[in-house]
Structure 1
Amino acid sequence: MYLRFLALASVTVLLSNCANMNESDCLTADWQLIGFEDGSLGKNESHVSQHRKDCSEHGVTPDLGMYRQGHFEGSKQFCTTRNGFNRGLKGQEYNRNCPQQFEEAFLTGFTDGQNLYGLKKLLNQRADELEDAYKELDWLEHTIAEKSETMIADGLNRNQRIVIRDEISQHQEQQRFLYSTLHELKQEFENASLTYEQAELEFSHY
C-alpha cells in the first residue's frame, strides 16, 4: 500500500509540509497521506496534534485512524537501519519517533553512525590541533627573524634592544615547547586516523 503513497508523494506538495493548514487544506485533507508523509519525514505520531490545532479553527477534525495507518507506513521508510546510520553519521538527533516495531533496526544503524561521526569529529580535531601547531611555529619563526633584524638595526637605544631581546627569548621558549609537543600531536592524529579508517571499513556495509 505504501507504494501508492510514495508515488503520490513524489508528485504532490503534501499538506504536512506547510507550516499551517488553511480551511481548504483541512476540508480536502487525505489524512492517510498526511500521516504517511509525517512518518516518512521522521515526525512523531503526536505531530497530528498540530494538524488538529490548525483544522479545529475550520471545524475539521483529523481522521486519527487513517492518519495512524499512513504514519505507520511512512515510518517504515524512515525507521530503517540505513537511514538510522545516515542520520547518526550527520550528527542528527533521534527523538524517539520510530514505532516500537522498527525502533531496534533504526537504532542499530543510528548508533553505528553516531560512533563513526564521533570518530570523524575527533580526527578533524586532531588534524586542526596539528595544523595550528605548524602555523604557530611558522609565525614564531617569522617573528623571531624579524625581531632579530630589528634588534641590530640602527637608531635603537640599549633599553629598546633589551626589550626586543626578551621578546625573542619568549618566542624561542614557545617555539621549543611546540617542537616538544609535535611528536605527541602527530601520534594522536595518526591514531585517530587509523581508528577512523578501521571503523569506516567496519561500517562499509551501510
Structure 2
Amino acid sequence: MKKNLIAAIPLVLILTGCGKMMDENQCLVADWRTIGFQDGSAGRDMSWLERRGEACAEFGVRPDMDQYLMGRDQGLANYCQPRRGFEIGRRGGTYNNVCAQQSEGQFLAAYQDGRGLRERENHVSSLDHAINDTINAINALENQLTEDAIALAMTDMTTQQRIDYALTIKEMAEERGALQQSLPQMQAELEAARADLSAFASSIAGRYPGAI
C-alpha cells in the first residue's frame, strides 16, 4: 500500500518546487511524506529538513519527522541506484553522502564511472577547441601578414616607419611559425585523448545500457 502511494505521486509534483524553500501555503498543507520522498529522490541531505523546518516555523508549522523520514527513505531507495550514480557523475553533479552503506559502494563506483567519462569527454572537447583556436590564429596572422606586406610595398613611409613595419611583420611571421609547429603535438594529444575516451566508454558501456 505504501509503495503504491509513492508510485502514484505525479512526476510533476516531484520535479516542481524542489529547489526553493516553502511559503506559508506550502507549510500549511504540507504532505511531509511526499516532501521527504522528493528530497530523498533528489539525493538531498538532512540539512534540507532543517531549512524547511526553519521556513515553516514562521507560520507555526513543524515538520512531521516520522512521515518525512519514511518518504525520504523511499526516495533514497530510488536515488541510490548505480544507474543514477552514473548519470549524476557524468553531468558533474555532487554526491552528498546520503546512501546507506549497503547501496553506497555500487552507487559510488557508478558515480566515478560517470565522472571518468565526463572528464575524458571534457578533455577531448578542450583539446579540440584549442586546435581550432590555434588554426584560427594562424589564419588571422597569415591574412594580416599579407595585408602588411602589401602595405609595406605600396605605402609611402619614412625609413624608420619601414623598419618598424618590417619588424612587426617578422614578429608575426615568427608567431605564426611557432603556432604551426605546435599543431602536430596538439593533434597527437587529441588523437590520444579520443582513443582513451573510446576505450574507457567501451569498458563501462555494458554496465549502463543505452547511456553511452
- The aligned counterpart of 2:21 is 19
- Deviation string, structure 1 residues 11-68 (Cα, Å, up to 9, x no partner): 647896352241x433433222221111012111342212222333333322212211
Q: Which residue of 2 aligns with 1:72?
A: 73
**Paired AA for residue 150 in structure 1:** A
Query: RMSD of aligned C-alpha atoms?
Result: 2.1
Could you tell me how far 1:189 is from its partner in structure 2? Answer: 0.7
Cα distance in structure 1, aligned partners of 2:155 and 2:68: 85
Q: How does 1:1-206 map to 2 (within 5 A)?
A: 1-10=2-11, 12=13, 17=18, 18-22=20-24, 24-205=25-206, 206=208
Shift in Å at residue 164 of structure 1?
1.2
> Distance between the aligned counterparts of 1:7 and 1:161, measured in 2?
81
Aligned-partner Cα distance in 1 for 2:176–2:53: 65
Query: Residues 153, 30 of structure 1: CA spacing in aligned structure 2 closer, same or farther, 3 A cutoff?
Result: same
What one-letter code is carried by the residue in structure 2 that aligns with 1:19?
A: M
Contact 2:14 2:38 in 1 (8 A): no
Contiguous gaps of at least 5 residues in structure 2? none
Deviates more, 1:54-63 or 1:138-147: 54-63
Contact map agreement 1:35 1:67 (CA 8 A) in 2? yes
Post-superposition offset of 1:132: 1.4
Paired with 1:33 and 1:143, the residues of 2 have a C-alpha distance of 65
- 2:26 aligned partner, one-letter code: D
| One-letter identity of the residue aligned with 2:160 | N
| Cα deviations by residue, 1:112-135 (Å, 9 ceiling, x for unpaired) | 001111111111111111111111
Length, aligned pairs only? 205
- Greater mean deviation of Cα atoms: 47-56 or 165-174: 47-56
Deviation at 1:102, TM superposition (A): 2.6
Percent identical pairs in the alignment equals 28
Identify unmatched segments of 5+ residues in structure 1.
none
Cα 1:168–1:3 shift into 2, 3 Å: farther
Contact (CA 8 Å) 1:15, 1:21: kept in 2 or not? no
